[in-house]
Structure 1
Amino acid sequence: MIPDSASTIPPLQYPWSGIIRPIAASALHGIAFWGEHLIAIDATNGYLLQIDPKSDNTKILNSSRELDFASATGLAIHHDTIWLAWNDSVYFGQLNGELSLEQFVTLPYRVDGVAIKDSTVYITCHKAGYIFIYSRDTCREITRLYAPGIGVENITVRGEELWVCDREEQTVYCLDRATGDIQFSILTPFENPTGLTFYHDPDTGEDILYVAYSSDEPYIRDNPNANPNYELQYRDRTFIHPLYFHVQPDSRYALSNGYLIEMSYVEELSPLEDVELKDVEWRIALPSETDRQKVRKIEPVGIPFTEEIQDGERVAVFKFDTLKPGERHLFGWKALLEVRSIKYRFTPRDVETLPELSPEFQTRYLVDNDELSMDQEIVIDAAQEAIGRETNLLRKMYSIRNYVYDKLSYGIKPHIDSPDIVLERGIGSCGEYLGVLLALARLNGIACRTVGRYKCPQEPDKFGIPLQPDFNHVWLEFYLPGFGWLPMESNPDDIVEGGPYPTRFFMGLAWYHIEIGKGISFETLKSQGALVQKENTSIGELAINHVRFKILEELPPVS
């Protein structure tokens, strides 16, 4: 049986899953270990905090008002010397003394993060778009490296690696310390990472990466002086959490923190109008097995189903002799899933020479088989304009994504229009973004397919609580000949008007994406052997779907 919340072991009993929540902290940014304690900057309160990771016990080290570090964001510790990124300057001083700071260097723009390795100082600056490298002895710039992401970044160093977290990208990058080349990148389980550091565990000999997060969260406040008395308010949300990762160099991806999730998808038969259907076959796709998603168990809900394989995907088949007016049924499935974040790493140079797309893939994934309007002039022109003279497959797909983000803004609609209408209107839902992306990619010879269907609500610190998503969701996969399918989100990376756009979900998916029915219809209805057409009777007019998630526990790191 799938365990319910009452039988689930509390997450704090797992040594890998503890969240550190310092008392009185509002906005943690730079963090570093000093012995067994975490030292952190609270940019809102100006506190320099000493934190016990095992108990959350918190001490303010700069207790004097003259040592208020408000708006400081970067922090590094080298032996007993503390380094701070504060406004447009970097400072240093003795941590075990009176915290008397000396100025190291001042930049033309605000500095965000600082790290130190021997006699070399690394400084991140979002406004400049670089990681500046300085000599600690001469205070002179040695060189600079391109920043890997588009957002505000913090930095730490381990051996010959630079580790950078990017707030907008929801990503941690591992860079070669000498060249700045990205070795791999990993998605964080929470949004808005603001600081990072490594802790060397003397018992296991392993390095554990800790990441700080800072944002705000909505909550319902009970205000007795208001009418009505419940108000929507926002409050600070900040904490530190270990980020585990597992790199597969041969497969070109990195996995990060995962969760054990129970997902239910159930249809409640409740037709809007009286209808009678005979010899009914109701098919619902089941969760997929992928590099990042493992299916532990699936069981029926309501009534039993038989299972079939369709194009390599598992499908639950429910059969009814007759569905008569007035009948009421519940039917669906419940699955126990292991899900992790994944980020693939390919560069345009890696795909300069690719084998030809097979004839089977050309006939399946380069054609208009889903009302994509690939014969309409506005879509054909958009496909040509999107890539210009680009010939590299990866650059073409990236250019198509950015072109669509430039042309469209996100908006919810009750139905999905075809890409020609969406391009003309300039506003689209996730399904409409997907349609435009599919059409432009296929017209440019890139095989792609629809993937989805739901995202678990992004609450990885709330265990055993029933969670309902507000909407369904779809994204796509594009095919890299010689390697396989790579994921790409439809619209969530379209967050900045006119760009630059983050690439967190370009060849990447977060733990909360649930992959169901890759390349096939999620749900179909047949009566007497024939597919029931939407214009006659749609599934939405026959039944109400109930989608529910429960996050049961955080998974142990991949060994």
Structure 2
Amino acid sequence: MSKAVNSIVSQSRTIRPIAASAIYGIAAYGDKLWAIDPRNGYLLEIDPLTDNTRILNSKNTADFIGVTGLAIAENTLWFTRDDNVYFCNLINNSWQPQLFIRLYYPADGIAVWQNTIYITCQKTGEILIYSRKNGEKITHFYLPGIGINNITLRNEEIWLADDLEQTVYCLEKATGETIFSVLTPFESPTGLTFFTNTETGEETLYIAYANREIYIRDNPNADPSHELQYRDRTFIHPLHFYYNQEQKYALSNGYLVEVLYTEEIAPLDPIELPNLEWRIALPAETDRQKIREITSIGLPFTEEVNDGQRIAVFKFDKFNSEERYIFGWKAILEVWSIKYQITPLDCENEPELSSEYQQKYLVDNDNLAMDKDLIISAASDAIGRETNILRKVYSIRNYVYDKLRYGIRPHIDTPDIVLKRGVGSCGEYLGLLLALCRINGIATRTVGRYKCPPHPQQKNLPLLPDFNHVWMEFYLPNFGWLPMESNPDDIIEGGPYPTRFFMGLAWYHAEMGKGVPFTNLTSNGLLIDKEQVSIGELAINHVRFIILDELKPS
């Protein structure tokens, strides 16, 4: 795969409207942004350079409570509330809504292009297109995601922000076909607009976000005084993106991240291991991840390559449990969100998998229980009569999500036990996905190992992940390896499930090993089985992320 696109440090700023509790629609108007706060009914004018905020409808905020979509065209303000679409004349600043049309289902977002009105509706899963002149429906397009969508238009394109999919879609305005999609760096995008700086002429795609965040409140009237609380979080942030049409992927907001992985020797029992070699996988170079620098921590290491993956090798002539060491590596990475733009039609003529890949990626080499009747039957049920390889993977993912719900386990059980239990960790979701794909002739491999805590605005602070994490890649002979998350898209009981991480990864995934063990030990050249000596019994690992800068494509 090619390396990540060249990048520069982003100079764009996050806009935090004053007094806003939630922003659900934004529009550019002159050198300002207009936004709607549906909880308070505020129509806000926001200066993107200073955050200075003004309430425009100060005398009739009640008319704007519950508004979700916002658009401005030819001195007319358009908005959606419940089943209705309204407009206001901006010339007289009366802010008195006039009804344009009443729908059968709630209207979410709105955009206006000349004499055409575009309205998104999650209930029907459609973009409804109406005539501005007579209010008659012209046609409709299907929404590509499953969440609530806000909408804006640019030239011959429709742009959507889906709150559940955490995705922005670019569609052809004439046909509604998806051109490409990108992941947003934050959850719950609720509005979008293109804003042109009147001084520089630079165009920026701004995305609004609205959610709640957990924080620790110091309550002097309670004992203990610290208590867990929720508060509203809303802001507007630029979305940077790059679409590689030839290689069929799109990148969005990148970050320069320092990743540190170390082992602290602290054996539970006395032990001696002669000629010990301790291997730790190094970060990989991919379409979405670029290595700027790698240095050793504590002790020097040599490098070896295993199946294309770089491995750090730490050597101990005579490992003794009485001695203490800290050793590992520190990497400076460019990480991006990525979304591959491959459709089932692109996979109609996939060649047969090579014999080398069949021997490596279609076998049970990790206690996958592929010989168990329950798993063999599940592999058949998961795909039904489907023959297209991409649809097979998608069907297998949905089958696993239907059968499992997420839960942390003290250890990883085999897929047959997990399927019977109906509860699994990320590693157990992964094991079942691997087994069902491989039985169906789809090459798969494990990828991991950690995710940076997803707080991109907390720069230059140490961020410590709570858990390790694994996901998978599946192989399409015409395209190569494609990512798929193990469990994070399983968020709706019984579906439908988001596809944000199907052929996509968020910026916070750190790829540290593809199809190879993240760590292993050898003594006198022989692999040490974890039943003999567990790494967890020898050392404590320390993982730390520091976000240094936000990046955008150069």
Identify the TM-score tier after normalising by the shorter chain. Answer: over 0.9
Give the number of aligned pairs: 546
Give runs of aligned pairs for residues 413-428 of structure 1, distance below 5 A.
Answer: 413-428=409-424
Partner of 1:84: 79
Secondary structure, in 3 states, of the residue corresponding to 2:513? coil
Matched, 1:136 2:143: no
Give 1:207 shift: 2.8
Structure 2 equivalent of residue 26 of structure 1: 21
The residue number in structure 2 matching 1:95 is: 90
Residue 514 of structure 1 aligns with an amino acid whose one-letter code is A
State the match for 1:167 in structure 2: 163
Matched, 1:36 2:31: yes
1:542 aligns with 2:534: no
CA drift of 1:67 comes to: 4.7
CA distance in 1, matches of 2:441, 2:201: 49
Corresponding residue for 1:210? 206
Amino acid at match of 2:251: L
Corresponding residue SS for 2:24: strand
Residue 48 of structure 1: aligned partner? 43
Are 1:17 and 1:554, in contact at CA under 8 Å, matched by a contact in 2? no
2:145 corresponds to 1:146: no
- Give the partner amino acid of 1:421: I
* 2:261 match: secondary structure: strand
Note the C-alpha offset of 1:363.
Answer: 0.4
Q: In the TM superposition, what whole-angstrom CA distance separates every residue of 1:293-323 from its partner, at most 9, and x where no partner exists?
A: 0000000101110111111111100000111
Query: Contact between 1:168 and 1:502, CA under 8 Å: does it hold in 2?
Result: yes
Rounded Cα–Cα distance in structure 1 between residues aligned with 2:275 and 2:300: 16
| 8 A contact 1:280–1:320 mirrored in 2 | yes
Partner of 1:106: 102
- 2:506 & 2:184 partners in 1: Cα distance? 8
**Residue in 2 aligned with 1:336?**
332
CA distance in 1, matches of 2:342, 2:417: 33
**Counterpart of 2:90 in structure 1: which amino acid?**
L
The one of 362, 373, 378 aligned to 1:377: 373
Quote the Cα distance in structure 2 between the aligned partners of 1:412 and 1:196.
Answer: 36
Q: Of 209, 229, 233, which aligns to 1:237? A: 233
Query: 1:129, CA displacement in angstroms?
Result: 1.2
What is the SS of the residue equivalent to 1:517? strand
The Cα shift of 1:325 comes to 2.6
Mapping of 1:218-367 within 5 angstroms? Answer: 218-367=214-363
Alignment deviations for residues 104-162 of structure 1 (CA, whole Å, 9 cap, x no partner) = 11111211100000000000111121110000001011111111100111000111110
> Is the Cα contact below 8 Å between 2:31 and 2:197 reproduced in 1?
no
What are the superposed Cα offsets for residues 397-438 of structure 1, whole Å, 9 maximum, x if unpaired? 000000000000100011111111111111100000000000
Q: In the alignment, which residue of structure 2 is the partner of 1:17?
A: 12
Q: Distance in 2 between matches of 1:450 and 1:173?
A: 28
CA distance in 1, matches of 2:512, 2:164: 27
Distance 1:369 1:133 in 2: 53
Q: 1:283 deviation in Å?
A: 0.2
**Identical-pair percentage:** 64
Local SS of the residue matching 1:516: strand
Counterparts of 1:130 and 1:210 in 2: how far apart (Å)?
23
Partner of 2:435, secondary structure, is helix
SS, match of residue 85 in structure 2:
strand
Task: Tell me if structure 2 keeps the 8 A contact 1:351–1:393.
Answer: yes
TM-score, normalised to structure 2, is: 0.97
Superposition CA RMSD, Å: 1.2
CA distance in 2: counterparts of 1:179 and 1:348, whole angstroms: 19
Is the contact made by 1:171 and 1:187 (CA closer than 8 Å) also made in structure 2?
A: yes
* Change in 2 beyond 3 A, CA 1:407/1:204: same
Deviations 1:184-210 (A, max 9, x none): 000000000000000124555443110
Shift of 1:14: 6.4
Does 2:58 align with 1:63? yes
> How far 1:15 sits from its partner (Å)?
5.9
- Where in structure 1 do 4 or more consecutive aligned residues deviate above 2 Å? 13-17, 65-68, 200-207
Aligned equivalents of 1:544, 1:14: Cα separation in 2: 35
Q: Gaps (5+ residues) in structure 1? A: 1-12
User: Which amino acid in the other structure matches residue 536 of structure 2?
Assistant: G
